[in-house]
Structure 1
Amino acid sequence: MNFEAALQVANEAFFAHTQRYLSDVEVTLLRGAWQNQTYQEMSENTDYTANYLQRTVGPKLWKQLSEALGESVSKTNFREALKREMSNRTPSATLTVPPSAHSVEFPDKPVALDSQFYIERPPIEVDCYQAIVQPGALIRIKAPQQMGKTSLLYRILTYAATHGYRTVRLNLREAEGAVFSSLDKFLRWFCANVTLQLELPNQLDNYWNEAVIGSMVSCKTYFQSYLLKRIDSPLVLALDEVDQVFQYPDIAKYFFPMLRSWHEEANNRAIWQQMRLIVVHSTEVYIPLNINQSPFNVGLPVDLKEFTPNQVANLAACHQLTLQPEEVEQIISMIGGHPYLLRLAFYHLSRQDVTLSMLLQDAPTDGGIYSDYLRRNLVTLKRHPELAAALKQVVTATKPVRLDTIQAYQLHSMGLIQRQGDLVMPSCELYRHYFHDRLDNEG
């Protein structure tokens, strides 16, 4: 029995038990174990650390494989278990069975933690896992909409939780408009929501004194003297969609420097080493911030890029689709390496709702699979004529163009353009073809 046969048996047993196939890192670990490698040896030719393979991936893999095979499995005995599983099957049972329509996830939300459809982008995941366990850590995740920021965030928070850390995720788009009417009201909302997620009593009135010490010092005191002291482990505070705050410069100019100061406090006070921050946003930071007070130029920067051709092929394989290199090129030419657009395409192809040639032909039309997605963006552009005019300039040009800085940031956050230095161009042909005529008709 060679490794490829063993991997097929493991994958089929794994899918039957978990409704997902082995991930890239799990295959890496399994292959290394098959070759009698230590975790350190496995890590040497990969982007994964030995500690991550041994303490995070390994225990979960051996546990789930044990459940799938119906016997206790470990790094040292899994070969014989797979051999027994293979010998108990009929020849036809070892053939790969495509997933049913029900097992293919529709991409309408962040990728679940146990999903086979999450594609890692090494070394990003490992870099984030290593960073979040550092005292006073700060991670900055930036990418256009629906590029996988929240899916990555969930995995970082889960990794932190496995180390016994407390985790809180705040989506700042959930804050009502009235919350941003003043700095004091916003910071009180901020503190109250963290308290709620930590399941602690709200003690804001005991620590807050806007008139005497101000809102920022009150907020810091509440965290330092109450929240961080009441929990007996590090706190990972993830702030998702912080772009929302960019719209309120009078709040942003105080809130973001406050976060920077908390990060720097870890150099001076042990209590602030317990705080780990993750800041997630879609656009570049176009609000004016003092370079020495901005949290956007410190910590670990994570800029999520589009999938590479190899990652596109891997995602297709997760959907039980085998693409030829020229087909991968055709797909990337039309929709780029955008994770959401790719998953939507592979969802329909795996269900045999449409052929690849028809999908590509209809993609930039109102009859294609992206019609709802494209119309939503068109509605947004119609509400903001200055953005529509800017994108029209981009999609009708034959070469990259220069846009107003703010308009470029906004269109980039929507995922509609990509940068080439100071110039921009459509992210993919899908947007060029779809918006070329429709924006032109808008005049």
Structure 2
Amino acid sequence: MDQAIPPELEFSNPLGCLPCPDSPLSLDSAFYVERPPIEIRAYQQITQPGSVMRIKAPRKMGKSSLMLRLINHANSLGYSTVLIDFHQADLGIFESSTKFLRWLCSNVTRQLGIAYNINDYWDEDIGDKVSCTMYFEEYLIPQINGPFLLVFNEVNLLFEYPKIFMNFLPLLRFWHEKSAHSTIWQKLRLVLVHSTEVYVSLGINQSPFNVGVLIDLPEFTHQQVGELADKYQLTLTENQLHKLTCLVGGHPYLIHLAFHYLYDHQTKFDDFFHRASTDAGIYKNYLKRFWILIQKKPQLVEIMQQLIAAKKALKIEPISAYYLESIGIIKSLNNHYLLACDLYRVYFSYKPIFPQVPSSIYIEQLERDNQYLSNLVYVDELTKVANRSQFQKAFKMEWECMAIKHNPLALIVCDIDYFKLYNDTFGHLAGDVCLQKVAQAIQHNLQRPNDLLARYGGEEFVVLLPQTDGKGAMFVAAKICLAVKELAIASGVPKSVDSQHPVVTISIGIASIIPSSDYHPETLFMAADQALYESKKAGRDRYTMSSEFNFKY
């Protein structure tokens, strides 16, 4: 016999099976609360050819629930849909860009039900990004009838593998930009879902991928909190709803957890509310996670103490503000910051978790942070030319400078021919010496102080030439090709493989553009990379000017 519900409890009819607050809400869930105009905006965006949409928010803000509805909407429109969840990838997939991009291609192929044909399009000489692009452009997408929605979930996991995301995100940007003039790529609609709670590195204070439309999920409004209470069939007063909203700030997960607990445990609201901010409350594990994160960074202790005591928003130094806002414990207000909700203020006020940190420790931590930032601009240890980080910094700076002056910027991408075979034949020590000599030969042919040579990775070098049009860049490239060949380093390439390359040679791709807001710097890089592929395809030991970008000065 069912037990009667006491009249003093603040809930009404049983709901049966309740949704787990920790899981995404299923498509048929009665507990999903829309946050207009978020859903309509997202649905409209995927109908745009070649579109990109980013859904980002701190953990447990409802990103996955929205993602499921977006995919379902695309299916209802007859789109082909693929969901790539990086939680499903084995750790070994992230060991190299090759493994990662081949895994991506295989996963997409399988979900689309298309025959596996990756090996016919993969060529280590042209690189992983070009191979992946060719596979999508020439094989996968042409077989898809109608629009193709490709969703990447938990993109934040890639931030733990810099070598992966520094290749992958620019590749997605390049695909998006190709849609401006390619009907093939207009079929593709990209959606990236990621949490803001991954502390990428001290030097990054914004998303590394800022293309397309951003869907930044907001907290529930007071009205939406009331709507969810009705879905749980809870009879709460306006004052109780207001107290709950003030306590957790409208955070969807924390609201769901409260209502789930009130209904499932048949608990009075006041009893729940008085325990909520303590270790005896339902938010204990959620709050303890913040405690652990803050304890790991002593420089945040003093800042948290100031925020707890403050009656108004405070100015916080950028690195600490970025970290605290990313994990969702503070929110910004006109370039100042305050705690995101009363839950954090009350919990951290009563829990003695902040030891007195000597100023010397705080200073040492800041010095380590500054040293980390300085290390990003050091030269490549082996070749003694600029490293990849320094190139990217210079690339951005020169792009902005040339845009202001309306002058061209040229980029040369170089790749040593048959270098893997060279390493296999003579060993890695000889390979290191070869890289050093080639770097010196390239550097010797750069005459101007602002010309920059950098080792981009492995046997690949890049040359940045400000105020240089296509003709000037081709002149430099010709000198580089000749200088490398004149080193007369035996290539070790058997005649059966290629009788035309007895000595080490280099292949080059060139692109030149007058920077403007119409383009992103990565567009220039991908154009030069494509031209490099053309040089490889045409027989190596040559330079090729991009047909897409070649602005005369």
TM-score (normalised: structure 2): 0.57
Q: How does 1:270-289 map to 2 (within 5 A)?
A: 270-283=183-196
Q: Taking structure 1 as reference, are residues 400 and 279 closer, same or farther at Cα in structure 2, changes over 3 Å only?
A: same
**Are the aligned partners of 1:119 and 1:314 in contact in 2 as well (CA < 8 Å)?**
yes
- Match status 1:349 vs 2:262: yes
Cα shift readout 1:256-310 (whole Å, capped 9, x = no counterpart): 1211111121121111111110011222997779x9x9741x3222111101111
Residue aligning to 2:118? 204
Q: Distance in 2 between matches of 1:400 and 1:175?
A: 41
The corresponding residue for 2:107 is: 193
Distance 1:389 1:162, change over 3 A: farther
Shift of 1:335: 0.9
- For residues 74-129 of structure 1, what are the alpha-carbon distances to aligned partners after superposition, in whole Å with 9 as ceiling and x for unaligned? xxxxxxxxxxxxxxxxxxxxxxx954253332312011111111000111111111
Q: For residues 252 and 315 of structure 1, do their structure 2 counterparts lie closer, same or farther at Cα, with a shift above 3 Å needed? A: same
- 1:117: which partner in 2? 31
Residues 439, 405 of structure 1: CA spacing in aligned structure 2 closer, same or farther, 3 A cutoff?
farther
- 1:142–1:209 CA distance, 2 compared to 1 (3 A): same
* Per-residue deviation, 1:398: 4.0
> Compared with structure 1, are the counterparts of its residues 363 and 416 closer, same or farther at alpha carbon in structure 2 (3 Å cutoff)?
same
1:259 maps to what in 2?
172
Aligned letter for 1:151?
S
Corresponding residue for residue 91 of structure 1: none
Q: How does 1:76-91 map to 2 (within 5 A)?
A: none
Opposite residue 163 of structure 2, the aligned amino acid is: D
Q: Deviations over 1:167-217 (max 9, x none)?
A: 12222244344433332232222222222322334322221112x211111
Among 1, 14, 39, the residue aligned to 1:100: 14
Residues in 1 aligned to 2:113 and 2:69: alpha-carbon distance in whole angstroms: 22
Shift of 1:338: 0.5
Shift of 1:143: 1.1
The structural deviation recorded for 1:350 is 2.2
* Higher relative contact order (Cα pairs below 8 Å, separated by 6+ residues): 1
Please point out which of 61, 65, 77 is paired with 1:163: 77
User: In the alignment, residue 166 of structure 2 is paired with which amino acid?
Assistant: K
Aligned residues: 343
Provide the rounded CA distance (Å) in 2 between the counterparts of 1:184 and 1:435. Answer: 46
Find the residue that maps to 2:314 and give its secondary structure.
coil
Distance in 2 (alpha carbons) for counterparts of 1:146 and 1:344:
11
The question of 1:377 aligning with 2:377 is answered no
Q: Is 1:247 matched up with 2:165?
A: no
Q: Does the C-alpha gap of structure 1 residues 262 and 345 become closer, same or farther in structure 2, counting only changes over 3 Å?
A: same
**Structure with greater strand share of residues:** 2
Pick from 304, 320, 328 the counterpart of residue 241 of structure 2.
Answer: 328
CA contact (8 A) 1:286 1:406 kept: no
Instruction: Give the Cα–Cα distance (whole angstroms) in 2 for the partners of residues 418 and 173 of structure 1.
Output: 28
Query: Residue 348 of structure 1: SS of its match in structure 2?
Result: helix
- Does the 8 Å CA contact 2:156/2:196 hold for their aligned counterparts? yes
Distance in 2 (CA, whole Å) between partners of 1:275 and 1:225 is 13
CA contact (8 A) 1:283 1:410 kept: no
Change (3 A) 1:327 1:263: same
| Paired residues for 1:33-432 under 5 Å | 98-100=12-14, 102-210=16-124, 212-283=125-196, 295-296=209-210, 298-385=211-298, 391-432=304-345
Q: Which ranges in structure 1 are unaligned for 5 or more consecutive residues?
A: 1-96
- In 2, the alpha carbon distance for the partners of 1:405 and 1:177 equals 32
Instruction: Give the CA deviation at 1:131.
Output: 1.2
Name the CA distance, whole Å, in 1 between partners of 2:232 and 2:200.
39
Q: Is the 8 A contact 1:283 1:409 kept in 2?
A: no
Deviations 1:369-407 (A, max 9, x none): 112222233334445555566545533444333445444
User: Among the aligned pairs, what percent are the same residue?
Assistant: 41
Secondary structure in 1 matching 2:313: coil
Give the 3 Å change call, closer, same or farther, for CA 233–330 of structure 1 in structure 2. Answer: same
- Output the amino acid matched with 1:315: L
Against the structure 1 CA distance between its residues 403 and 249, is the aligned structure 2 distance closer, same or farther, given a 3 Å change threshold? farther
Amino acid at match of 1:205: N
Q: How far apart are the structure 2 equivalents of 1:111 and 1:178?
A: 31
In structure 1, what residue type is equivalent to 2:308? Answer: V
Q: What is the RMSD computed on CA atoms of the aligned residues?
A: 2.7
Q: 1:153 to 1:356 in 2, by over 3 A?
A: same
1:117–1:318 Cα contact (<8 Å) kept: yes
C-alpha spacing 1:358/1:196, structure 2 compared with 1 (3 Å): same
| CA–CA distance in structure 2, aligned partners of residues 404 and 336 of structure 1 | 24
Kindly state the Cα deviation for residue 145 of structure 1 after the two structures are TM-superposed.
Answer: 0.8
Q: 3-state DSSP class of the match of 1:103? A: coil
Deviation at 1:340, TM superposition (A): 0.6
Mapped to 1, the partners of 2:25 and 2:316 lie a distance apart of 34
Q: Distance in 2 between matches of 1:178 and 1:389?
A: 40
Give the 3 Å change call, closer, same or farther, for CA 204–381 of structure 1 in structure 2.
farther
Distance 1:304 1:132, change over 3 A: same
| Uncovered stretches (5+) of structure 2, i.e. residues with no partner | 1-10, 357-553
Q: Which amino acid aligns with 1:127?
A: R
| One-letter identity of the residue aligned with 2:173 | R
In structure 2, give the amino acid aligned to 1:253.
M
Structure 1: which 4+ aligned runs deviate by more than 6 Å?
284-289
Q: Provide, for residues 411-439 of structure 1, a one-character-per-residue CA deviation record: whole Å limited to 9, x for no partner.
A: 33332221123322211111112133446
